[in-house]
Amino acid sequence: MTTTFTPPIPDTDASALTKKRRIAFASYVDENYLPGFLALLRSLALSNPGVCEDFVVLYDDLRPASIAKIRALHPRIVLQRVNDTHYDSYVKGDQDNYLVRKAYFILDIFRLRDYDTVITLDTDMVVLGGLDELLELREGLAAVPQFFYGQHKLNSGLLVIQKEYLSDEFCAKIDKTGRSGDYELDKHDQGILNAVLDGDFVRLDAKYNFVKRRLSGDLPVPEETKILHFTGRHKPWQGGESGYAQAEDRWREFELTDAEFHAAYFAAPGGLHHDLVVHFGTPHVRRTGDVEIARKVAAAHIAAGDYQDAVDVLSSVHIPLDEAWPHEVLGHALMSVSRYEEAKTQLLLASAAPNRAATAFARLAQMAWVHGDNTEALRYATAGLTVDPTHRSSRLWAQRAAAVPSQEQGSAEDQLAHVAFYMDRQGNAGDKLLPETVRLGFGPDTTSRRWHSVHAHRYFDKAALERVNARRGLVIGGGGLFIPDTMPNGNSAWQWNVPDEHLRAVDVPIMVYAVGFNAFDGQSYRANRFNDSLRLLVEKSSFFGLRNHGSIAKVRGMLPPELQDKVVFQPCPTTVMRQLVAGWTDPGYREDTVMLNAAYDRAGLRFGHDYGHFLAEMAKAVRRIGEHTEVTCVAHSLDDEKIAFDLRREHGISLPVIPMYDFSNDEIRETYARTRLVIGMRGHAGMIPFGVGTPIISLISHPKMAYFLNDIERPEWGVSVHEKDLGEILTERAIGILDNHSRTVADVHDRQQRLWKVTEENRATIKKILGR
């Protein structure tokens, strides 16, 4: 069927593609130090309630009951048994003391290979403050210098280790020193590290490893202390030591029962991490029936795409009639699994409270619109605006419900039905352009003379089925329709709200066209419903084309062998618009500008802990590129303007903003065709300019852009938002393109021609399917 153009098999590991930093905490734990470690875990959660990274537990003798206690205090425990015999060959001060022998086991941390940054914490520590600075560190091996020995030697109780030290080469240095005995034998692991590093480490403020000895004479713990370290023989859980009562009182703040700890976590200030909310809240709700905590747990499940879990937790408690917020969240969860009548009941209950009414009415409007009842949708949206005239969601649903659909001009037998995400005014510019561009792939007429529109987010009922079956065929696409959370439903668990029975009853040819598998790094499709719907869709389709080979690999991996070969490559039609748009001519003149786009939907998945780094590096690049040409901000959606605000606020850089979300399709194409270079984070901030012949550099925060660049065999046209030297790399590549612009444009045209050849081959196949 296709294709003569076969790029290299893509790496589909999301973290490898986006280079999002994998961060972990780590400790060595044994039975003697278990009480200290449990206090450490509680203190970490209470002092950093919005942080949840893997916690690697090195161990050699933990009992199952102890492991259960550890797992109860953290949802992402990674158990790693130490290679204890490895250290038998090390020269030690006391070869027969088992405590001395165990002191070396923490060095197994350097044998981890799955992380970019590892933060080690001794089990006799408690965390008293925020650790953002440590999480943002990206260079070297960082530690606090020893209290008694000046700045040359580190205290190994806290280490922030970057990937270059998590290597066989560094482990060999550790082994060589340990076996030679050429180190301070009484300092054990710390002695080896100081001998190997010889002072070459990043020095941290003492507040990150504030040793108990600084408080001799029962001094109070300074307020700025982030991590308190109970060095010495006498540990708080073993009775403590005279002269340190105030310090030990701080440790005892974290000697809590599960009930006390859960209550303290949910009372913590600031944002709570959704994984911790679920992990601590679920047993708390089970034990207490607390409605407010159940609401928070359900909201966390919704944020993670676990809609049925949200329904289950709120359904397990008795919600009083006048508790509006839990009713509203339950209504949200129920509509997300397509239990619409139950959702309506919950949302109507929520609408009785003024502080939740606008949101409840907006969700009721959404459900009415999903079911094709614009009159009811407008009534609910208007009610929401009556309660709160500034409520954005109610206003958007009112606008959508009030829109008058254009009268179809063609006859059914001459039309193709088209399932797509039809974007509202001021919506995402790429999604706005996409349906028209898909239609151009089938012919020059994109109007209702040849097309019958089916909004993917509307429930595909029997009436919609009959309308589709009266057409010549059904086109589904393009865009990232295979994503679980933009408009969740329980019928398919992807963007098209279609029950299996209605999909099975489609009796015209189905063509899936340039659709993408759109999960972020750290996001997954958790419902079997998606797999079943996907398999049925592939079975029913006469043509099943995905827009990149990364998506193809992902989808084939979900299918039985007999269906895998049905999945073929169909580039996004936006990438070949120069060939699709009738009468297209390349611009004779380009403005001397570089356009910059950044995206902020699902910002946590895009940036992790690196947004501050990203912004600082972008400031460097914008300043240096700005010495050669004007840099402007191009916003595909309103939220995209944030980079202009943040650059001005944090770095004093002002950028003109191009509000592309207000542009017509022609204006979008023309604007991108007239600039010299687009540096874009959104998928279509790369594919659209590429499609009109403009060079691009992709800011990779999502695997799909790496997939696209792999398909055109130009991975160097992308750079990860997590790249340590992002500013320098971006500047070098941008100036290189600007200095060799004509050659790069010619390369874009050549890459595009390869995609066009695939598109033409697929067009011939589809023409045979449709019979004309």
Please name the residues in contact with 768: beta carbons below 8 A apart, sequence gap of 6 or more.
none
* Domain-embedded: residue 746: no
* Domain-embedded: residue 769: no
DSSP state of 9: P
Name the residue range of residue 127's domain: 14-252
- % of the chain at pLDDT higher than 90: 88
Same domain, 207 and 269: no
Alpha helix stretches (DSSP H) within 337-411: 340-350, 354-370, 374-387, 392-402
- The CATH number covering residue 423 comes to 3.40.50
DSSP-based three-state secondary structure for 14: helix
Q: Is the pLDDT of residue 666 over 80?
A: yes
Q: What is the pLDDT of residue 187?
A: 92
Structure tokens at 226: 């982030």
CB atoms within 10 A of CB 345: 14
Same domain, 36 and 88: yes
Q: What is the pLDDT of residue 518?
A: 73
Same domain, 689 and 551: no
Please identify, among 402, 422, 457, the residue that sits at the C-terminal boundary of a domain: 402
Q: Among candidates 593, 670, 604, 691, which has minimal Cα distance to 633?
A: 593
Q: What is the pLDDT of residue 427?
A: 80
What b/e string do you get for 26-58 counting C-beta neighbours within 10 Å, with b at 16 or more?
bbbbbeebbbbbbbbbbbbbbbbbebbbbbbbb
Long-range contacts, 500-506 (Cβ 8 Å, 24+): 500/532, 500/533, 500/536, 502/460, 502/461, 502/462, 502/464, 502/465, 503/460, 503/533, 503/536, 503/537, 503/540, 504/536, 504/540, 505/465, 505/469, 506/465, 506/468, 506/469, 506/474, 506/540
Cα(325)–Cα(360) distance, integer angstroms: 9
* Domain-embedded: residue 757: no
DSSP state of 724: T
Q: What is the pLDDT of residue 2?
A: 47
Mean of per-residue pLDDT scores for the chain: 94
Backbone φ and ψ for 162, nearest 5 degrees, come out as -90, 165
Please identify, among 382, 402, 422, the residue that sits at the C-terminal boundary of a domain: 402
- The CATH number covering residue 344 comes to 1.25.40.10
Question: How does pLDDT run across 184-235, given as a tens digit for each residue?
Answer: 999 999 999 999 999 999 999 999 999 999 999 999 999 999 999 999 999 9
What is the Cα gyration radius of the chain?
A: 29
Q: Among candidates 29, 39, 34, 48, which has minimal Cα distance to 109?
A: 29
Burial of 453 (0-12, 13-18, 19+ CB in 10 A): middle
* Domain-embedded: residue 760: no
Q: Among candidates 613, 632, 576, 630, which has minimal Cα distance to 701?
A: 613
Same domain, 295 and 386: yes
Q: Among candidates 226, 212, 110, 125, which has minimal Cα distance to 169?
A: 110
DSSP-based three-state secondary structure for 158: strand
Contact (CB, 8 A) for 436 and 446: yes
Q: What is the mean pLDDT of residues 113-135?
A: 98
Q: Is the pLDDT of residue 660 over 60?
A: yes
Q: What is the mean pLDDT of residues 680-705?
A: 95
Question: Which stretch, 94-108, 160-174, 519-533, has highest mean pLDDT?
Answer: 160-174
DSSP state of 407: P
- The CATH number covering residue 87 comes to 3.90.550.10
Same domain, 705 and 635: yes
Cα(631)–Cα(224) distance, integer angstroms: 41
Contact (CB, 8 A) for 23 and 119: yes
Q: Is the pLDDT of residue 528 over 90?
A: no
Domain total in the chain: 4
Burial of 230 (0-12, 13-18, 19+ CB in 10 A): buried
Beta strands (DSSP E) in 578-707 are 593-596, 630-635, 657-659, 677-680, 696-700
Please identify, among 367, 402, 437, the residue that sits at the C-terminal boundary of a domain: 402
Q: Among candidates 173, 52, 53, which has minimal Cα distance to 111?
A: 173
* Domain-embedded: residue 574: yes
Q: Among candidates 1, 250, 4, which has minimal Cα distance to 757?
A: 4
Same domain, 557 and 598: no
Q: What is the pLDDT of residue 97?
A: 63
- % of the chain at pLDDT higher than 70: 96
Question: Which stretch, 8-17, 167-176, 697-706, has highest mean pLDDT?
Answer: 167-176
* Domain-embedded: residue 439: yes
- The CATH number covering residue 733 comes to 3.40.50.2000
Q: What share of the chain is helix, strand, coil (3-state, %, to 5)?
A: 50, 15, 35
Question: How does pLDDT run across 702-752, given as a tens digit for each residue?
Answer: 888 999 999 999 999 999 999 999 999 999 999 999 999 999 999 999 999
Same domain, 362 and 420: no
Same domain, 563 and 681: no
Q: Is the pLDDT of residue 398 over 90?
A: yes
Structure tokens at 766: 């589809």
What b/e string do you get for 149-186 counting C-beta neighbours within 10 Å, with b at 16 or more?
eeeebbbbbbbbbbeebbeeebbebbbebbeeeebeee
Place of tokens 């770095």: 651
* Domain-embedded: residue 234: yes
Q: What is the pLDDT of residue 408?
A: 73
Q: Which stretch of 86-100, 277-291, 613-627 has the lowest confidence by average pLDDT?
A: 86-100
Cα(327)–Cα(271) distance, integer angstroms: 22
Same domain, 447 and 574: yes
Same domain, 537 and 620: no
Identify the band that residue 423 occupies on the pLDDT scale cut at 50, 70 and 90: confident
DSSP-based three-state secondary structure for 753: helix
Contact (CB, 8 A) for 565 and 533: no
Same domain, 245 and 364: no
Q: Which stretch of 553-562, 596-605, 651-660, 715-724 has the lowest confidence by average pLDDT?
A: 596-605
Q: Is the pLDDT of residue 12 over 70?
A: no
Q: What is the pLDDT of residue 661?
A: 95
Cα(430)–Cα(669) distance, integer angstroms: 10
Q: What is the pLDDT of residue 19?
A: 82
* Domain-embedded: residue 175: yes
Q: Among candidates 5, 19, 4, 12, which has minimal Cα distance to 723?
A: 19
Same domain, 343 and 419: no
Q: What is the pLDDT of residue 604?
A: 84
Structure tokens at 56: 């690697």
